Amino acid sequence: MDSAEYERKIAARFASFDQDHNGYIDREDFSGAAKAVLAEFGTTARCDKGQALYAGAEAFWQGMAGIADVDGDQRVTREEFVTGAVKRLRDSPQRFAEIARPFLRAVIAVADEDGQGPTVASAERVLRVLGVGAELAGIAAAALDADGDGRIAEAEILAAFAGYFTTPAPDA
C-alpha cells in the first residue's frame, strides 16, 4: 500500500467516527450515532435498549478519548487520530474491539427485531444511518454475515470491526 492509499484509508476511518463532520471526534459524535440508530428502529432512549445504547456510546467515547485525546481537550482531532489512535488500533485491534463491544452489543439489541439476531437488511439500515453510502452499506452488511445464515452475530461484528481498524502501515 502506498502512502496516498494509506492516507485515504485513515481519512475514511476518521470520517466514520466524525459523524457530524465538524472536523473532530467528540462525545456528540457517539451520542448522535446512538440517537440515529434508535430513531431508525423506532426505539426510545428511555427503554432498556435505549439506555444500554447511550451507555455503550459513552463507554466507546471514553475509550477513544483515552487512546487518542492526547491534549485532553475532549476532542480528537484528525492529527490526534492519526498519530495517537491509528498506531495503537493497528497494534491491538482486538483491544479496540473490546472498547467498542458494549456499544456494538447494544446496537445489535436494537437492530434485532425478532429476537433471532439482526438480519442482513437490519445491519444495512444501521450502516446507512451511520453514514455509510447506500451501495457500500449493502455490500458491507452482506459481508458481515460471514457464515451465511442470514443473521449477524456479535462475533461476526467484532471480527469485522477489528479487521476494519487493522490498517497496514504504508510501505514507505
Residue 83 in contact with Ca ion, rule: CB under 5 A: no
The piece of 75-83, 106-114, 123-131, 162-170 that touches Ca ion (CB under 5 A) is 75-83
Q: Is 168 helix (H, G, I), strand (E, B) or coil?
A: coil
The piece of 12-20, 31-39, 102-110, 123-131 that touches Ca ion (CB under 5 A) is 12-20
Q: Residue 21 CB: number of other CB atoms within 10 A?
A: 8
CB of 148 to Ca ion, least distance (A): 36
Residue 79 in contact with Ca ion, rule: CB under 5 A: no
**Using N-to-C axis directions, what is the helix angle for 154-164 and 93-111, rounded to 10°?**
140
Which member of 5, 20, 79, 147 binds Ca ion (CB under 5 A)? 20
The piece of 16-24, 43-51, 107-115, 136-144 that touches Ca ion (CB under 5 A) is 16-24
CB of 61 to Ca ion, least distance (A): 11
Asked whether the beta carbons of 111 and 17 are under 8 A apart, the reply is: no
Residue 35 in contact with Ca ion, rule: CB under 5 A: no
Of 30, 133, 37, nearest to 76 (Cα)? Answer: 30
d(CA 85, CA 70): 10
* Strand extents, DSSP E, the chain: 24-25, 76-77
Kindly list the residues in this chain that would bind Ca ion in the complex (CB under 5 A).
Answer: 18, 20, 22, 29, 69, 71, 73, 75
